[in-house]
């Protein structure tokens, strides 16, 4: 697991990585680069800025991989 994807120091494809899970921005997103899927699950804790409170679920048996972002209701 990686906090900030900008801190990657290796060639992930050459190292055999297929999935990178990262955070830092608390913004849920998913994208592919060079055959690797990058997933930021968002933040399931306190609301950050105007971003949704959510998490991601990834079924590794279903390809191509595509996370399901699950939005959580905030208790007030």
C-alpha separations of 60 from 50, 51, 66, 67, 74 in Å: 30, 26, 9, 9, 28
Give yes or no for residue 75 having a pLDDT over 70: no
pLDDT band at 56 (very low <50, low <70, confident <90, very high): very high
Confidence (pLDDT) at 68: 96
pTM: 0.80
Give yes or no for residue 2 having a pLDDT over 70: no
**Domains along the sequence of the chain with CATH:** 5-71 (3.60.21.10)
Q: What is the mean pLDDT of the chain?
A: 86
């Amino acid at each position: 697991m990686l906090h900030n994807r900008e801190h990657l120091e290796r060639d992930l494809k050459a190292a055999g990585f297929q999935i990178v899970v990262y955070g830092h921005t608390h913004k849920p997103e998913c994208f592919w680069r060079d055959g690797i899927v990058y997933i930021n699950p968002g933040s399931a804790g306190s609301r950050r800025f105007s971003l949704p409170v959510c998490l991601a679920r990834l079924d590794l048996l279903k390809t191509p991989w595509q996370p399901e972002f699950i939005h959580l209701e905030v208790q007030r």
